[in-house]
Amino acid sequence: MSTTQLLAPNVSAQHWADPSHPDDRPFIRKYVFSTDHKTIGNQFMFMSLFFLLVGGALAMMIRWQLGWPGQPMPGGGVLPETMAPGGILLPEFYNSLVTMHGTFMIFFAIMPLLVGMFGNWLIPLHVGASDMAFPRLNMMSFWTAVPAGFIMLTSFAVEGGAAGAGWTAYPPLSAVPEYSGVSTGQQLWCVSLVILGFSSLMGAVNYITTIVNMRAPGMTWLRLPLPVWALFITAILILLAMPILAGALIMLLFDQTLGTTFFLPETGGQPLLWQHLFWYFGHPEVYILILPAMGIASEVIANGSRKPIFGYPAMVGAIIAIAFLGWIVWGHHMFQSGMNPLLGSSFMLSTMIIAVPSAIKVFNWLGTIWRGDIHFHTPMLNALAFVGMFVIGGLSGVFMASTPVDIYIHDTYFIVAHIHYVLFGGSLFAIFAGIYFWFPKFFGRMLNPTLGKIHFALTFVFYNLVFFPMHNLGLGGMMRRIYDPNQYGFLEPLQPMNTFISVFALALGASQLVFIINILWSLWRGERAPENPWSSNSLEWDLPSPPPHGNFEAMPAVYRGPYEYSYPGRGEDFWPQSEPPDGQQVSVKTGGSPVAEGVPQ
Amino acid sequence: MPESASTFGTGIDSIYYIILWITGAIFVFVETALIVFIIRYRHREGRVAVHTHGSKKAEIVWTVIPFILVLFIVYASNDIWLQVKRADQEGAAPADALPLRVVAKQFEWNVTYPGPDEELDTSDDFVKRNQLHVPIGRAVRIDLGSEDVIHSFFLPDFRVKQDAVPGMTIPVWFEATRTGEFPLACAELCGLGHYRMRASLTVHEADDFDRWQAEELAAGTPAEVADGPEADTAEENRVSEGEGSA
Amino acid sequence: MAHKKPNYYLVWLYLLILTVAEVLVAFASGLPFEVLVFILLGLAVWKAALVAMYYMHLRFEPPRLVVLALAPIPLAILITIVVVTMEGF
Amino acid sequence: MSRAAAIHAQAPRPMEGIRVYNVKLGMWVFLLSEVMFFSGLIGAYIILRFAHPEQWAAPGEVLNVPLTAFNTFMLICSSVTMVKAFAAIEHGDQAGLKKWLLATIVLGAAFVGIQIFEYMKLAEHGFVPIASQYAAEGGPLYGSTFYTMTGFHGAHVSIGVLCLIFTASKAFRGQYTEEHYAGVEIMGLYWHFVDLVWIILFTIVYLI
Ligand code: HEA
Ligand code: HEA
Ligand code: CUA
Ligand SMILES: [Cu+2]
């Protein structure tokens, strides 16, 4: 094929924004079945926040049961007999609560928020493209995620209730209805996740192609904003990990419905096979849930402290290193599973080594705020909280990574504490930071800073009061996923602490109302957002808020890295990537598309 | 953590404290640095941030130090790990261990005792449900199995935890250092009775253990568990009545 | 076309011969199982490589795409090796 | 600030991505995840077989190798026809494109047909994935893994055939030209990949 076809495929067939004539898409194309990455990002935001709310509500019920075991839950009367007769939660319902809480939070809240929402919002704008490489595929990615979530929700209503084998769904429990009392629910769980897998897959293909092929002139790899780097690596993780989960889920589904015995020992199946496949997906998955958060935090922290990110190349290297190591540590979830102890030792080693690239990131964040000029806008507050909390979660990970210590704390609340320090303290705080940071760009209105700071303060305080004591519960020997600790004499002394946790958990849930109100209010009443409210550098801030359909009017040109803050001898303390060096004029035709003809369509 | 009651328990705890000290120090260091910087460098009129892209030297330092630390933790952890988990390997568990069999099922633990001849699968075996009795100062070697789903054999005071996987027999060993009664818990979600799948572990003086064993044999405890739920969990043991487990 | 076209029929012939060879090795050669597995897998990989290189034109693509295409192989091998090494179960 | 100075030294130049146009790159990326999907299934197969070798009958004992060898032959042929179709349109040879595409469709469909026939024969013989009804030599894991792996491959072929029919219909409406043949090329990539997977499966499922 002729070289002209090979050259610069990225400039071909991009439909840049055209200010001269208005965007005349019919309503349905504009807001519902839109192929515009910004709209799809917004759609992902609303969907995932809804599921975050659901997951949160389930958590509230969990906490009620643990705080006041066997007490009728206020308003619990509305639940059907099969769940909570007279408002008293049943053990089988509790198992469903825990399972669905984990499932919703991980697969339907955090993952679509980080990957679906931020991926769509940021990638095309940050690389300077008019849209994703495959806009229609992008739309399908969202519209397959919705039914997946819907199926997951409806599984509460089916005979036997929702899946109740934990979000890790270990067979035989998850494969044999007689053991768990759940049949249809567990199958719907598998189906829903397979569908969600397709959705993520479509997203990943899109992201990778867009980032590799559609970067604007001058946007070299080492000038990419860190969120894009993180999302790129994350997309690769999704691409390679999701199929493994899909395969495992399908085998589980066969065991449940057809009568195969992949995971059932009677005729030689291997229960541990599921665990290997699940965690071979599962650990990359948890890095899918943290890497984008790290990217967002880096962006916000550099902006908030008006300083270039400390050691950009090292930050990129660390992301890659974490992602790679993430593939060879899955066994650390199986130390006590009966897996060969020698294998355990090697998994301990690989797991521990992940602390090193993580260290690089943490200390480089510290290096970034060091001698900075820190502005405490709401995004910055959340980003700083992210650093502080992620460190706690990460360090507790090191305890579990040590095989002998894990003997004691495996499947105790120490793990639960870890989960929430990395996922809530890590991912969710970064998500809050990102939402406060980019909301103005995509909805054209600022989020109210006062409400924002209140929300942050309440969340931060209550969050720590809820999850830090869980470490002690774990050290006290309290197992996970137990409906009523008081069944064990040695756990009764922990009840006051459980009640304490529950009180503040309810408070934590309630304080999220501030956030909801802030979002809903600001959508219509918030003060109009300027082009560049945070005086930030990356390309999207040159555009009106919200950016027009097609983003840029012509292929933008990029002259420098994204973190040139406080450059000596400049008037203002930021330096947009697109600003040509010393006043030289931008030619609208920069990088134009002369080479575009004849690229196969 | 409850006071250790097994020979390797203290060893495990010491690893825990080593890690606690290391991570604790790192934690304090990082968080104080964070807070100090936040206060020290907060925005003030006329403050300009220093424009720097980083420092190779510093980055190398905080790459190498954590690396050494974690390698040390791994080194410190590995021996005791293998000692605890490789019950059937040379030199891990004492040779003269008392053989027992524990089979988990929803939602109870069935313990097979070898009887006086200390051989399993002989005529003088006997089985107790939810009661594990061991002598002090003598290692016991348990063949751990499961009939239905995955359970987890958890002795908090002994720092013992091992999943019981159907289709596998996994060796577990420990040696009690304190007499008394201790909880045996199930740590792996195994169905709606998971939260109450508990049993008791009683550690006897050596001769006391023999006496107990003699009594059990005299009382003619069966070599097979009679089916049906155990007395104290009979009420509300939904599975074995309602949905009917294996 | 930037590259000279490979002879697709030749590749096809290769594939056929290799397939026949496989079947023969599998059934006609009284080799011990271990050796057999080794040879058969070797042949299979060889065939797969032919398809990828010539039919999928990997041989004529820019190196960066080749790297991309080979990326998951280590992972695929990794999981297999690890699970095989576990006489633990 | 030498580093910072270097920052804007570089003038903007058109990025070249990796010199592969989007649709093609996208297809390759998608195929990578397909590789992982089949690796998962094959990995499971290997674990189960290592754990229970006794459940596997000797090669050829249960499975009909000659038939499948012939089927393999057909799939390989379909790869040639596919690549010929691509070669044809590269030179704007419309007739060739249509001819070869049709040939590929026929061969692909035949493969699926033969596989279904094979399944039915095996089922009669009691070779089924369901443990409770398993009657053939070996044990149910043999059947479960066999049907899962070959079944998913068969599904991929069937989807491929549908896509081919779509591609062909576009070809007959003359929508591909010397300059615009991306559709044919990525169709080919997918098709050859499916062939490639079969080459591996044939060896490890039927011959080993
Ligand atoms: C965002 C998600 C996320 C992230 C980022 C992590 C990060 C890590 N996790 Fe976590 N993990 C989960 C989510 C996550 N985890 C979840 C959900 C589970 C439970 C699954 C279930 O339900 O069973 C789990 C379970 C889990 C287990 C299994 C426990 C058990 O079941 O017994 C283990 C064991 O090794 C582990 C280890 C680690 C380690 C070592 C890291 C490391 O990446 C952490 C690295 C970071 C640091 C170490 C801190 C920063 C570094 C420094 C300040 C430098 C100095 C540090 C040292 C020198 C030590 N995790
Ligand atoms: C990101 C993941 C995430 C998050 C955010 C949370 C949040 C919470 N979790 Fe989570 N939890 C998990 C992931 C998460 N959890 C996982 C993976 C498990 C393991 C499951 C298993 O064992 O299988 C688990 C298990 C788990 C347990 C252990 C159950 C058991 O083992 O028996 C407990 C117990 O207290 C608990 C409590 C809580 C509480 C009180 C919150 C609170 O923080 C919740 C507070 C409320 C909210 C955060 C919702 C607020 C809503 C919004 C902010 C949206 C705004 C909406 C609009 C604008 C429209 N969780
Ligand atoms: Cu048995 Cu939990
Ligand atoms: Cu992990």
Give pLDDT tens digits for A280-331.
999 999 999 999 999 999 999 999 999 999 999 999 999 999 999 998 899 9
Centre a 10 Å sphere on the Cβ of residue D124 and count the other Cβ atoms it contains.
Answer: 9
D56 touches chain C (CB under 8 A): no
Under 8 Å between Cβ of B108 and B199? yes
In B103-129, which positions are buried (b, 16+ CB within 10 angstroms) versus exposed (e)? bbbbbbbbbbbbbeeeeeeeeebbbbb
Q: ipTM of this model?
A: 0.92
From residue A175, give the alpha-carbon distance in Å to each of A252, A460, C23. 6, 39, 38
Q: What is the mean pLDDT of residues B200-204?
A: 93
> Which of A209, A216, A270 is facing D22, going by the closest CB pair?
A209
Q: What's residue D11's pLDDT?
A: 54
Q: Which of A96-100, B43-47, B79-83 has the lowest mean pLDDT?
A: B43-47
Under 8 Å between Cβ of A485 and A474? no
Q: Alpha helices of A258-310 — where are they, by DSSP H? A: 271-288, 291-304
In chain D, DSSP finds a helix count (H) and a strand count (E) of 6, 0
Cα separation, A111 vs A400, in Å, equals 24
In C18-44, which positions are buried (b, 16+ CB within 10 angstroms) versus exposed (e)? bbebbbebbeeeeeeeeebeebbeebb
* pLDDT interval class at A12 (50, 70, 90): low
SS (H, E, C) A320-386: HHHHHHHHHCHHHHCCCCCCCHHHHHHHHHHHHHCHHHHHHHHHHHHHHHCCCCECCCHHHHHHHHH
Q: What's residue A460's pLDDT?
A: 96
Using a pLDDT cut of 70, give the percent of chain A over it: 95
Q: In what order do the strands lie in the sheet with B180-186?
A: B131-135, B199-204, B180-186, B151-155, B160-164
A269 pocket-lining for ligand 1 (C-beta < 6 Å): no
Contacts of C16 (CB under 8 A, 6+ apart): D73, D76
Q: Which of A458-472, C25-39, D144-158 has the lowest mean pLDDT?
A: C25-39
The 10s digit of each residue's pLDDT in A378-409 is 999 999 999 999 999 999 999 999 999 999 99
Greatest distance between any 2 Cα atoms in chain B: 91
Please state the φ and ψ torsions of residue A576, each to the nearest 5 degrees: -50, 145
State yes or no: pLDDT of B238 exceeds 60. Answer: no
A311: left (phi over 0), alpha (psi -120 to 50) or beta: left
Greatest distance between any 2 Cα atoms in chain A: 78
Q: What is the mean pLDDT of residues B74-84?
A: 91
Q: What's residue B125's pLDDT?
A: 85
For tokens 């999928």, the residue is C56
Q: What's residue B124's pLDDT?
A: 82
CA dihedral sign of residues C75, C81, C83, C86: negative
Q: Return the CA Rg of chain C.
A: 17
Interface of D with A in 58-87 (CB under 8 A): none
For tokens 């577990």, the residue is B172
HSE-CB at C48 with a 13 A cutoff on CA atoms is: 19
Inspect the interface and report whether the beta carbons of A254 and D7 lie closer than 8 Å. no
**What residue of A is the nearest CA neighbor of B156?**
A477
Q: What is the mean pLDDT of residues A509-522?
A: 95
A560: left (phi over 0), alpha (psi -120 to 50) or beta: beta
* pLDDT interval class at B246 (50, 70, 90): very low
D42 touches chain C (CB under 8 A): yes
Q: How far is the CA of A279 from the centre of ligand 2 (A)?
A: 20
Under 8 Å between Cβ of A441 and A379? no
Q: In what order do the strands lie in the sheet with B108-113?
A: B126-129, B108-113, B98-105, B139-146, B170-175
Q: What's residue A242's pLDDT?
A: 95
Q: What's residue A600's pLDDT?
A: 35
From residue A303, give the alpha-carbon distance in Å to each of A300, A402, A564, B64, D184. 5, 37, 10, 28, 47
The 10s digit of each residue's pLDDT in A217-242 is 888 899 999 999 999 999 999 999 99
Chain A residues lying within 8 Å of B174, measured CB to CB: none
State yes or no: pLDDT of B226 exceeds 60. Answer: no
B231: left (phi over 0), alpha (psi -120 to 50) or beta: alpha
Q: Which atom of ligand 3 is nearest to the CA of B187?
A: 2
Our CA angle for A301, A303, A308, nearest 5°, is 85
Q: What's residue B200's pLDDT?
A: 92
Under 8 Å between Cβ of B18 and B76? yes
> Which of D29, D51, D196 is facing C52, going by the closest CB pair?
D196
Partners of B171 in the beta sheet?
B143
- What interhelical angle do A355-369 and B9-40 show, nearest 10? 20
Partners of A445 in the beta sheet?
A528
> Which of A7, A8, A248 is facing D40, going by the closest CB pair?
A248
Q: What is the dihedral of CA B99, B104, B109, B113, to 10 degrees?
A: -20
Cα separation, B205 vs B197, in Å, equals 27
* pLDDT interval class at A2 (50, 70, 90): very low
Task: Tell me the average confidence (pLDDT) per consecutive run of 10 residues in chain D, 208 residues long.
Answer: 43 68 90 91 88 84 88 92 90 90 95 94 85 78 91 96 95 88 91 93 90
Under 8 Å between Cβ of D49 and D56? yes
CA dihedral sign of residues D136, D138, D144, D150: negative
Q: Which atom of ligand 1 is nearest to the CA of A329?
A: 35
Cα separation, A500 vs A503, in Å, equals 5
Cα separation, A218 vs D14, in Å, equals 7
B87 pocket-lining for ligand 3 (C-beta < 6 Å): no
In angstroms, what separates the C-alpha of B94 from chain A's closest C-alpha? 18
* pLDDT interval class at C35 (50, 70, 90): confident
CA dihedral sign of residues D61, D64, D68, D69: positive
**C interface toward A at CB cutoff 8 Å?**
1-2, 62, 71-72, 75, 78-79, 82-83, 85-89
State yes or no: pLDDT of A337 exceeds 60. Answer: yes
Centre a 10 Å sphere on the Cβ of residue A437 and count the other Cβ atoms it contains.
Answer: 24
D106 touches chain C (CB under 8 A): no
Q: Which of A205-209, B103-107, B124-128, B147-151 has the lowest mean pLDDT?
A: B124-128
Q: What's residue C49's pLDDT?
A: 86
* pLDDT interval class at A593 (50, 70, 90): very low
State yes or no: pLDDT of C9 exceeds 90. Answer: no
State yes or no: pLDDT of B241 exceeds 50. Answer: no
In angstroms, what separates the C-alpha of C35 from chain D's closest C-alpha? 11
Chain D residues lying within 8 Å of C26, measured CB to CB: 59-60, 65, 207-208
